[in-house]
Structure 1
Amino acid sequence: MTKNEITETLLAFEVPAVRHLAWLCLAPQLLRHDFRFNPASHLSPAFLETLTQWDQNPETLPTRLAEDPERRLGHYFERLYEVLLRDLLGWEIVLQNQQVQAEGRTLGELDFLVSNSDTGQLEHHEIAIKFYLGFATGQTRVRWYGPNARDRLDLKTERLVNHQSRLCQRPETQTLLAGVGVNEPVTPRIFMPGYLFYPTEQLLPELPAQVPKGHLTGDWMRIDAACQQEVSCWVPLFKPDWIGPWAQSAAPDAALARAALERVGNAGVPQLFAIMARHSESGRWLEVNRVFVMPLQWPGTAA
């Protein structure tokens, strides 16, 4: 599917949790690596029919999907991934969120240890959902920071590839796994979908080498520039609705958008907005772009 086809497919779902799960199944990732896990290559061709059934009959939702969403995006993302593995792929989850310790200190945590029914292999899946904003630190250098600038794309990628995904190679982990009857080799997998946001006021001199070209994108600007924008079609997004495109029946409320901008200026916290357009056939308002509005001091000392 192209990005436009993916967006059109996702916006057909009206139950937010189903739309979020569909996004996990279809979204491009922010990592080009041999460990990358692609759910679409394992899903049944009928998985969209299953999601449509859940969307049209919410009483049939899997229990974990029907629970109220958590505001902590990482925890909610893990829950969606659990439903993807167990209810869509039909794979057995052997371990989940299993800490690995040695001499009283935590070495790391196994996100998911799963049995891949397609290959018969055990796989260790490390997962993350990420949103990074490109910031030029010089004429030729670009850093990609999260809304919390202590998070950085290159550092997160390095940790996923060289530490988290290799946790099963450590003797402490192998001892732990042997204790639950797992003695076979474990294949590492990484799943990291997300968005890269590009500055509206400058062209970046380089793109991150480890990110595939087909990644999802948005824009970002500082609060002073945002206050000069026409915001009648802007909708502030709050977690967990950062996941996937936004849709709503009611027209955007410019007063809510302006109030959200005031919070950025007064409290110094980033705010994500969906820029909406009315769909002529359905009458619904659908996201056509998204923009992060950042406080003036961002990224601060991180840069």
Structure 2
Amino acid sequence: MHLNFLNLEHDEPWLALRQPLVRQLAFCIGSPNILRSLPADLAITHPFQLHDDATWNKHLKNYWPRLQQLDRHPEALADFLQQLKSTRLGLRFEMFLWFWLLDSGHHPYRLLGHSIQKIDGPKTLGELDFVLLNTETGEVEHWEAALKYYLAERDFSLPHWHGLNRSDTLSRKLHHFTEKQFQFADALNHQIQRRFCILKGQLYLPERSSCAALPDWINPARRIGLWGQRLPDAALQFYRLQRHEWICPQAQPSSHAAQWWTDGLYKAACQEHYYMFRRPGLLLHSLT
């Protein structure tokens, strides 16, 4: 499969950092959303937005001196992540964003609350990931964060992007955002004025496909991988990534070139090529 958008150069400054945790933090802040717009066929119940690439680039640039400091002395970040007992990548992603938002002086936000439950009597209506004040605009914003890995099938249209658990689809996630997660008008005695989805991770295209173009709502600024059920080119010396490396690989290969392939994400040793391997007919459980 030869698709021109798979071979684009991508600006990935986090790859210049040494410490694994700091590389992951930088990725969580600076990487673009996997979507650049909401699909036109998504029915909107409660409106929300996506930050553009320039916003994340600016945040990463402003935070870069702090990241370099953490790369030399990562103890504060490591200690903060000790709070996380779960291995779920989505929660790890949220923790990295929380660390950054608490690190005041490097961004225009004042964090008002994190993981805020909305309760009506005995019933929990939902939970808001982040509520913050944008000191540049004076507006209160509600952010929902998600780290997702979706595999395209068929014609790459919205219904045909599946997570590792096939019940976790991009369509279902976007509908959950607009119908449930962004339903609240206020939180912590503040009126919510803007709502943003932070949707990062990676998308994967089938290695064999007749489609020659991506939907216009897919963000080409985020590197796209391939997925398949056969072994890729052995000359690239793919190795299997550890679970936390799905966010950002370590600076050096964390394992030897793969001899025995199991389901998971693989990376070429000397290139930024990513391959999601899946055995035929196996129902995988979501890692996110």
- Calculate the TM-score normalised by the size of structure 1: 0.75
Question: Structure 1's 109 and 141: CA in aligned 2 closer, same or farther, altered over 3 A?
Answer: closer
1:96 Cα deviation (Å)?
A: 1.3
Residue of 141, 148, 164 corresponding to 1:147: 164
Structure-2 residue corresponding to 1:241: 245
User: How far apart in 2 are the matches of 1:233 and 1:125?
Assistant: 39
Structure-2 residue corresponding to 1:131: 149
Are 1:295 and 2:274 an aligned pair?
A: no
Structure-1 residue corresponding to 2:267: 274
Structure-1 residue corresponding to 2:31: 27
Q: Does the 8 Å contact 1:196/1:218 carry over to 2? A: yes
3-state SS, counterpart of residue 210 of structure 2: coil
1:49 Cα deviation (Å)?
A: 1.8
Residue of 18, 25, 29 corresponding to 2:22: 18
Structure-1 residue corresponding to 2:221: 214
1:235 Cα deviation (Å)?
A: 1.6
Large movers: runs of 4+ above 6 Å: 66-69, 138-142
Report which of the two has the higher share of helix. 1
Q: CA RMSD of the aligned region, Å?
A: 3.1
**Aligned ranges 1:6-85 → 2 under 5 Å:** 6-7=11-12, 9-31=13-35, 32-33=37-38, 35-38=49-52, 39-40=55-56, 43=59, 45-59=61-75, 61=77, 63-64=79-80, 70-85=86-101
User: How far apart in 2 are the matches of 1:140 and 1:51?
Assistant: 37
> Structure 1 stretches of 5 or more lacking a match?
265-269, 278-286
Letter in 1 for 2:23: R
Letter in 2 for 1:20: Q
User: How far apart in 2 are the matches of 1:40 and 1:63?
Assistant: 25
Choose 1 or 2 for highest CA Rg. 1
Q: Does the 8 Å contact 1:133/1:198 carry over to 2? A: yes
Structure-1 residue corresponding to 2:197: 190
User: How far apart in 1 are the matches of 2:56 and 2:32?
Assistant: 10
- Calculate the TM-score normalised by the size of structure 2: 0.79
> Bigger relative contact order, structure 1 or 2, given CA contacts below 8 A and separation 6+?
2
Question: Structure 1's 99 and 50: CA in aligned 2 closer, same or farther, altered over 3 A?
Answer: same
Q: Percent identity?
A: 24
> Structure 2 stretches of 5 or more lacking a match?
1-7, 39-47
